[in-house]
Structures are given as structure tokens and as C-alpha cells.
Amino acid sequence: MKVENHIDHESFFQEQLKTWTLARQNYEGLETVQLRVLQLRGCDIAVQFNPARMVSTGASIDKKVIAERPCFLCGKNRPAEQTGVPLLGHYELLVNPFPILPRHFTLASLIHEPQSIRASYVDMMRMAGLLPSLFLFYNGPRCGASAPDHLHFQAGSRGIVPLERDFKSSDTTSGISELRGYLVRGWVIQAATPEESGHLFSSLYETMPIPEGETEPMMNLLAWYATEAQHFVTIVIPRRKHRPLCYSAEGEEKCLVSPGALDMGGLIITPRAEDFGRMTPELAQQILSEVGL
């Protein structure tokens, strides 16, 4: 499939950094964040010390708290400096002011609607086609999303998150396969078009349980358009819980890691120095295994 009308996200990114002091300072700070690499069951896992991400890591998703706070993804509540690029007539491309990746964007719905993947998955694939130098990711309402009340995706630089960086596309242009050789269970969807990928995703979605009290199966997604193979790739990582026990532990047992798609993809974000220093392969495996399958 030939993808047309790529979005010039780089020019938009540079323009935002010129006019938005907070974003510029945080991206400059990202250049000096500490990073460690851990070897875990044949996989490279990266640990990033990023204090600015405490905003997201520490975010409450209590329904009462969310209902009472202004939604930071709604246009009327965003900083005056934060502008957007229209996408698909229903979304805006926004620079994320609290980055994990050198280029980090949020793709937010223009209307305030709940985080939900089933009806928006094909849109995600279409946006992946418009942004082929980036990869997209999705955090379910209780799987790392700090704004579960507002539909959004995120996009970022490729070649940094271990699972995306090390993934080898197969010759299969269409189908669902098991994610092999990784630390948690998952599936891989490969398809020639967004619509075909959507059909495959729907069939997979139907097999996944919806926990009591949840609005959809718990999952994280990583997706991109493989330009050489000319097909769309989605990695579906099912979840069984929101946060590991160590998140709410006391004293030395506490480790403030709240896994989202990037953590599940092998880039573990630690906003506290003590958690960055004590992260071991065993602790990383414990956290990922506890929240994943």
C-alpha cells in the first residue's frame, strides 16, 4: 500500500519549541536524562530516570478526581502556547510537553469522549500511515492512560523502545501471530491496509475478556507503518492489572512505576532517583509479569 500525504511533524515540532518555553525546556532536559540497559531473558530492557514524568506516573485515575479536574487534552484547558495540527478531521497532533522520547506527540480527539480503542483502532492505523517515521501507542483506560476520560493516542521516535526497535517483520502481509521471545504475552497483527488491520483486530478483541467494572479489555498497543514491507504492524499486549503491588507499597518496598505501553515495550520510566538506582532485571521482570500476562 502506498501511503500519501505524510504529516510534516518535524516543522510543527520545531515551531512549538520556539514559542513554548515549558516544552522547550523539557525536551532540552530529556537530552540529559539517565538511561540504563538491563539484560533480561535475552532481551534488552532500558530504564529511564525522568523526573518530569511524575505528572503522569503519579496521576490519579479515580473517577471522582477525574470528573472534578479540568481535562488537559480539551482545547479550552490547554496552554495558550500549545497549538495543534488537524488529523483525519477528528483529531489533533499535539506536542507532548512531558516527553519520554526525543519526538513525543499526543494525538487527541477534538471532542471530550472516553478512552476506547474498538471504534478508533482504524483511525490509529490511518494516523500511523500519515506519520511513518514515528510509531504510535495506546494506553487503555486503566493501562497507563493519565487521561482516561479523553480519547487519545501517542506517537514518538522510532528505534528507542526495545520491543519496537528489535521487532523483525515477517514476510506475512496479513494475519495475527503470537509475540515470541518477549517478556510478556502478546500478539502481532500485520496487514496491508488500516481496514484489513481493523478487521483482524476486531476478531482478536472478541477473544479478550473485559474485567468486571472495565469498559474494554485491558491492553496496550504499539503500532507503526513498515515502509519497506509496506504493511501496518500492531503489537497487542494484554494486561491483567493497572499497577504492580510495589507502586502502593511502603518504605523500601515502594517502587513508583506505573506501566504504560512504553514500559510494556521495554522502556521502563522511573520518575524517582531511588527507583532508577534499584531497578534490577529481577524487579523489572516482576513488574512486567505482574501487570502483563
Q: Which pTM value belongs to this model?
A: 0.93
pLDDT tens digits, 8-40: 999 999 999 999 999 999 999 998 899 999 998
pLDDT tens digits, 275-293: 999 999 999 999 999 999 8
66 or 244, which is more confident: 244
Confidence of residue 174 (pLDDT cuts 50, 70, 90): confident
- What is the Cα–Cα distance from 259 to 241, expressed in whole angstroms? 10
- What is the Cα–Cα distance from 171 to 184, expressed in whole angstroms? 23
The CATH architecture to which 9-291 belongs is 2-Layer Sandwich (3.30)
In the predicted structure, residue 198 carries a pLDDT above the cut 50: yes
Quote the Cα angle for 7-164-225, to 5°.
Answer: 35
pLDDT tens digits, 247-277: 999 988 999 999 999 999 999 999 999 999 9
Domain parsing of the chain, residue ranges: 9-291
pLDDT tens digits, 200-210: 999 999 999 99
59 or 208, which is more confident: 208
Q: Nearest Cα to 189, choosing from 180, 205, 200?
A: 200
**Predicted pLDDT of residue 2:** 42
pLDDT tens digits, 118-157: 999 999 999 999 999 999 999 999 999 989 999 999 999 9
Percent of the chain residues topping a pLDDT of 70: 95
Contact 186, 238 (CB under 8 A): yes
**CB under 8 A, 24+ apart: contacts of 242-247:** 242/61, 242/142, 242/143, 242/218, 242/291, 243/291, 244/286, 244/287, 244/290, 244/291, 245/290, 246/283, 246/286, 246/287
